[in-house]
Amino acid sequence: MSGSYLMLRDTWIYQDLKREAQKEIQQSYVEQQQQMLLAIVQARFPRIEGLIRHLIKDTNELELLQTLIIEVGGARLEKDARQSISQIATKYSHG
């Protein structure tokens, strides 16, 4: 790396722009995960779509979304999906 680039990396403006870019990338990934979860729910258990939408509407937690994708995607029956959602919601609402 050139010396000017290394100097630029130490500036507050560079750090601020880098932070903003990282937040935008994170938000984009969260939105992708939300869409994937909703697609799974709509295809397999459309009756619980409202429940899922309510649960994820204000979340930026990738771990929550990924857990829901795995659990709902792997559920055999709607009642299994509902049970998993309930357990996950309880876990994430209590920290």
Model confidence, pTM: 0.83
% of the chain beyond a pLDDT of 90 = 81
Alpha helices, DSSP H only, in the chain? Answer: 3-9, 12-44, 49-56, 62-74, 78-93
Q: Is 19 helix (H, G, I), strand (E, B) or coil?
A: helix
Taking the C-alpha atoms of residue 85 and residue 68, their distance in angstroms, rounded to an integer, is 7
pLDDT (tens digit per residue) in 35-80 = 999 999 999 999 999 999 999 998 899 999 999 999 999 999 999 9
- Tokens for 19, please give them: 């932070």
Mean pLDDT of the chain: 93
Taking the C-alpha atoms of residue 42 and residue 19, their distance in angstroms, rounded to an integer, is 35
